[in-house]
Structure 1
Amino acid sequence: MKTKKELKEAYKQMVFPMGVFQIKNLTNGKLLVDNSIDMQAKWNRHKMELKFGNHKNKELQKDWNSMGESNFVFEIISELKPNEEKISNYTKDLLDLQHMVMEEMGDIGDNHY
């Protein structure tokens, strides 16, 4: 059995998928584009906030409440691979990647949250 210290160290060594993702409304096509160093954890946070009715994006919350969870999907748009040569703060890299992705998407007009 591993000690608490060993488990903690093993967790620190884990690599989670990081990048840019979207929450897409399948009914009206609206998107929320976001980024994270741990996309699954961030998606879980969005989902829990929506389920509890306290998401910071009120328009998304309204659609979630009226249309239901089954009308929304989580999709990875672009993944950022960790740089093994140096320890890096990926926050700026992820923000830059999100801006590039949104530029590639073009003008989505009112089709975003």
Structure 2
Amino acid sequence: MKSKKELKDAYRQMTFRMGVFRLRNKKDNRVWIHHSMDLDRAWNSVRLQLQSDRHPNAALQEDWNRLGEENFMYEIVEELEDTRDPAVDYKKEVQALYKLCLEELQPYQDRGYHQQKS
């Protein structure tokens, strides 16, 4: 059995997929975009929120409830490579990537579930 220290060290060595993902409504192609330092964990969390009727985006939650999970598709939009460079601020890079995706995909009004900031 591994010691607590060995388990912590092993966890620190793990890499997680980080970047931007979208949840696409297959019926009308509206999208909800999100970013994370751990894409898999974020998707599991969002999915659980939607399944539990607890997602903060009311329009997305309403469509999920009405159309069902089978009418939504999880898609990774951009994935950031972990180069293990200590000089890189990955959190800042993921946030910048998210802003670029919002700008490019424009998930507002009839194209998405986001509210446009004025």
The TM-score, its normalising length taken from structure 2, stands at 0.85
Give the structure 1 partner of residue 116 of structure 2: none
CA contact (8 A) 2:31 2:107 kept: no
Distance 1:84 1:25 in 2: 35
Q: Give runs of ≥4 in structure 1 deviating > 4 Å.
A: 106-109
* Equivalent in the alignment of 1:28: 28
Partner SS state of residue 74, structure 1: strand
Unaligned stretches of 5+ residues in structure 2: 114-118
Where structure 1 has 5 or more consecutive residues not aligned to the other structure, the ranges are none
Which residue identity does 1:27 align to in structure 2? Answer: K
Q: Map 1:93-104 onto structure 2 (within 5 A).
A: 93-104=93-104
Residues 48-106 of structure 1 show CA distances to partners (whole Å, capped at 9, x for unaligned) of 00011110011111111111111111100111112423154422211111122233335
Rounded to whole Å, the distance in 2 between the matches of 1:62 and 1:103 is 25
Q: How does 1:1-113 map to 2 (within 5 A)?
A: 1-86=1-86, 88-105=88-105, 109-113=109-113
1:106 to 1:112, Cα distance in 2 relative to 1, 3 A: closer
> What is the DSSP-based 3-state SS (H/G/I as helix, E as strand, rest coil) of the residue aligned with 1:15?
coil
- Alpha-carbon separation, structure 2, partners of 1:5 and 1:87: 26
RMSD (Å) for aligned C-alpha atoms: 1.7
The Cα shift of 1:4 comes to: 2.8
